[in-house]
Chains A and B, each alone.
Chain A
Amino acid sequence: MAFIWFVAGVVVVTAVFFLAGESLDPWPALDAAGVVAAVYLLALVIFTTRKPFPVKSRIIILLFCVGFLFAAGSFSTTFRETTAWQKNQLLKILGVIQHGIIDSQMPDPLLATLEKYHRQPSKKKTIGQIFKEVVPDVTIGKDIYKRDAESDSLRIFVAGLTDDEVVLIGQATWGKGRSPEFKNYDGKSGMVQERAVLTAKGVTYDSQN
């Protein structure tokens, strides 16, 4: 009898585990197999602790098993919530880092241009012309971000370049910004993006996503 219970339990729990499994999410398989295993455990306890097993022992064993199942369910739920939260936090931290790097890199050429522009005794050169001196060979759509490594996720695109105005767009190529629907400058969706506009009055910043 024990052998039949043993084989039936292992086969059913294993089958449910692999049938409910998803390649990227470990929880559905554990949940489904956990429920079946819990039912098995209760059925096993009820079956094996029947008479002549002392009633008192039977109640204690049942209570212990219910307590174990409650602890397993509770831990499974709270641990899943915590790890999902940790995952979100990591991605949020990535967003904060990307915003921070864009904020520290993007203003440099714009402020250098602004300073040069206002230092001219007679404003002969336009904002656009000076920007082209500060960032040589610049064209609209060009990525002017100086990457430390090939794997660097950031880009700073020249989105607008006229005599009076320079528009830069800083964006990440992975990691998520605030809105997943946001359309990024390079055609991707949902990535971190910041915009800076330089005019003779100064630089204005806009955190777009």
Chain B
Amino acid sequence: MIPKTETTGAGTNEEKKSEFSPMFLRWLVSLTIVTLLFLFFGDYVFPRNAVRLAFIPVPWTMAGGFVIEQALDLFSGRELPPISMEKNIAMLTGLLMAFVIGPTLLFFSWRRLLTGPKQSKLNPSIIGFVFGVIFMSSGVLGTIASAIIHPQVAASMREAQALGENRDEVISGMRRVSLDAYQYKIMPKSYAGGGGSYMGYEVPSVLRKLETNEFIATSVTDTSLTITGSSTKYPGAGVQGVYDRQGRLFRTFSFMGSFR
């Protein structure tokens, strides 16, 4: 005998059925099984000591990051490791979330909401729609934002790098001039040197003007020399260095203009 209280209360049996429909239960059971599988067997797929990455919403950022990691390995003289399965799965999951899983949940649920029978608030179509929006937007928002921002970031990086590169070229040119000046100092006068002094030193024409830089000896004494290297690419930008009697840089370089 069924007690009377079961047929009365918050809702009818019909309403209870619609909230826990077979479709919803199927999803719930599937998700629970997947979660339990990951809980118990996750360690066999991803070793415990590795960094765990569930998924990357914008998978191209991970591919780019891997390329930079490779560059750092080459920089340090290390052998290039292959892409780990963990990274592959993270990239693939990101792609699937934004292009397959999210949109499939979203559009089928949306269609069901429009065309299907009216249901209560907690029904599989609503849940599917909400999860679809979440999964898809995780990739869509990041991708669109990155596509808009990235060109500006890349342009500013290139600009900064070009400036740094030019500054490095100036410093490298100054090193060559300082070596030449020191050689002049230690050579005897019979060999067109300074006989122990920097006095009379002039930057030779072959070192004076390079592709985008110019060098002059701005101050010359017996025991010290000031070299100024200026950029023709960035007007007003330059580097100044004072060299001692041993031909070594005294203290540090002074930077001018946009090299500062």
Contacts and interface: CB of A to CB of B under 8 A. Distances in A.
Interface of A: 1-2, 5-6, 9-10, 13-14, 17-18, 21, 23-24, 26-27, 29-30, 33-34, 37-38, 40-41, 44-45, 48-49, 52-53, 61, 65, 67-68, 71-72, 74-76, 78-87, 89-94, 96, 99-100, 103-104, 107, 111, 114-115, 118, 151, 153, 173-175, 200-203, 205
B64 A79 contact: yes
Interface residues of B, number: 66
B23 to A, nearest CB: 9
A91 B71 contact: yes
Classify the secondary structure of B's interface with A: helix
Contact of B150 (A49, A78, A86, A174): A78
A151 B66 CA distance: 23
Interface string B51-89: 000000011111111111011101111001011000110
B175 A30 contact: no
Nearest to B80: A24
Interface in B82-98: 82-83, 87-88, 91-92, 95-96
Nearest to B144: A71
Given A14-B92, A38-B99, A48-B111, A26 B183 contact: no
A18 B101 CA distance: 18
B95 A34 contact: yes
Contacts of B91: 17, 26, 29-30
Contacts of B146: 71, 75, 79
Given A49-B111, A76-B60, A83 B95 contact: no
Contacts of B46: none
